[in-house]
């Protein structure tokens, strides 16, 4: 019957049908549309088995390691070196090693929190499927090894004596020791890493100041998802004022300390008025991104005002980058 219909239509239109017209056959079966079918099958199979394609997505990597927040790390090392009067070329190597370790800590943190993040932060790289948990763990381990080796190459045995405990403290925090004092100890050890080639005693003051600042940020971070009562930001705001006072001194250091207090204190004041999760998260981000201002104040206080200003300049840059990649 199909042949009769085709013949009839051809006769009616005065068209002589060709025995095997491939172009006509292609149009008849919609051949190009069939090319989409394998993709549909693969997509449905992938969804049914809860499997996502894996690839090294650079944006996902920058989110995993909180790349912009790493601008807050070198200032720790430089503050320690300035306090110990030991700023040398090795300081740059130690700062680079500390950045690698920071990135390692962020990747390890997301790996450890992957089950929690499925519910609380599903947009993060691991729960969203953009990076596998195994890849994140491998990256964290590789960066840790590179950081420790880099610290040893830059600062020798004295640097390793601090870099190894620092790496252990970072991993201890990520694997379960989630106390603000543990995170604050990581930052304090980072300051001492910079002073490892000089007199460590002279770096105790900046290390303690950075410790106190980090303690307030970590306290706030525990309420990023559910919010808090006004009592929490009131406490951290008082701590911020004390930290700023400890970092002041000469005109440059006092000015930078005041800038730090303003930029970190303002969102905390908003959180006092309305302690929502969003305002708490803004406070945490401000505490991370404006740490360079505090570090700059400490460096200026140690007698290097120009270097302090240069370190503090990382704060507005980090803030701009944070608009593209979240620091928290």
Let me know whether 124 and 221 are in one domain.
Answer: yes
Please indicate, yes or no, whether residues 32 and 68 belong to a single structural domain of this protein: no
Q: Verify that 72 and 220 share a domain, yes or no.
A: yes
What does the pLDDT read at residue 327?
85
Residues 19 and 155 in one domain: no
- SS3 string, 182-200, reads HHHHHHHHHHHHHCCCCCH
Quote the radius of gyration of the chain (alpha carbons, Å).
Answer: 28
Q: Are residues 160 and 227 in the same domain?
A: yes
Q: How much is the pLDDT for 328?
A: 79
The answer on 279 and 150 residing in a single domain is yes
Question: Would you state the structure tokens that stand for residue 114, as one six-digit string?
Answer: 């992957």
Kindly report the number of other CB atoms within 10 A of residue 8's CB atom.
Answer: 10
Instruction: Please answer whether residues 151 and 97 qualify as being in contact, where contact means their C-beta atoms are separated by less than 8 angstroms.
Output: yes
Residue 236 belongs to domain with CATH number: 1.10.357.140
Question: What's the total number of domains in the chain?
Answer: 2
Residues 121 and 259 in one domain: yes
* Residues 255, 215 share a domain: yes
pTM: 0.81
* Domain co-membership, 109 together with 29: no
- Residues in CB range of 116: below 8 A, 6 or more apart: none
Q: Domain range for residue 23? A: 2-46
Q: Report the pLDDT value the prediction gives residue 4, as an integer from 0 to 100.
A: 47
Q: Are 88 and 309 in contact (CB under 8 A)?
A: no
pLDDT score, position 277: 95
CA 209, distance to chain mean position in Å, is 22
Can you say whether the dihedral through the CA atoms of 155, 185, 308, 253 is positive or negative? Answer: negative
Rounded Cα distance between 295 and 182, Å, is 20
| Averaged pLDDT, groups of 10, the chain, 328 residues long | 45 45 45 39 34 64 92 97 95 97 97 94 94 96 98 97 98 95 98 96 97 98 93 97 94 97 97 96 96 98 96 93 85
What pLDDT does residue 7 have?
44
Length of the chain, please? 328
């Amino acid at each position: 019957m199909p042949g009769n219909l085709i013949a009839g239509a051809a006769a009616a239109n005065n068209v002589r049908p060709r025995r095997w017209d491939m172009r006509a056959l292609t149009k008849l079966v919609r051949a190009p549309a069939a090319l989409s079918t394998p993709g549909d099958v693969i997509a449905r199979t992938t969804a049914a088995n809860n499997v996502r394609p894996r690839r090294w997505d650079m944006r996902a990597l920058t989110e995993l390691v909180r790349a912009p927040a790493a601008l807050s790390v070198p200032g720790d090392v430089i503050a320690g070196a300035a306090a110990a009067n030991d700023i040398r070329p090795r300081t740059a190597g130690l700062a680079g090693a500390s950045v690698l370790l920071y990135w390692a800590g962020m990747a390890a943190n997301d790996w450890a929190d992957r089950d929690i993040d499925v519910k609380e932060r599903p947009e993060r790289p691991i729960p969203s499927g953009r990076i596998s948990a195994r890849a994140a763990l491998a990256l964290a381990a590789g960066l840790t090894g590179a950081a420790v080796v880099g610290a040893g190459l830059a600062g020798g045995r004295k640097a390793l004596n601090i870099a190894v405990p620092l790496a252990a403290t970072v991993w201890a925090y990520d694997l379960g020791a989630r106390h603000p004092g543990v995170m604050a100890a990581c930052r304090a050890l980072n300051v001492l890493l910079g002073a490892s080639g000089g007199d460590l005693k002279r770096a105790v003051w900046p290390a303690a100041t950075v410790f106190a600042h980090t303690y307030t940020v970590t306290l706030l971070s525990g309420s990023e998802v559910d919010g808090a009562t006004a009592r929490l930001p009131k406490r951290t705001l008082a701590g911020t004022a004390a930290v700023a006072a400890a970092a002041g001194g000469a005109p440059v250091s006092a000015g930078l300390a005041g800038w730090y207090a303003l930029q970190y204190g303002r969102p905390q004041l908003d959180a006092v008025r309305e302690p929502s999760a969003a305002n708490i998260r803004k406070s945490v981000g401000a505490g991370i991104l404006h740490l360079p201002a505090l570090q700059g104040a400490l460096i200026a206080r140690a007698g290097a005002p120009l270097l302090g200003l240069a370190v503090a300049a990382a704060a507005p840059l980090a803030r701009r980058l944070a608009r593209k990649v979240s620091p928290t």
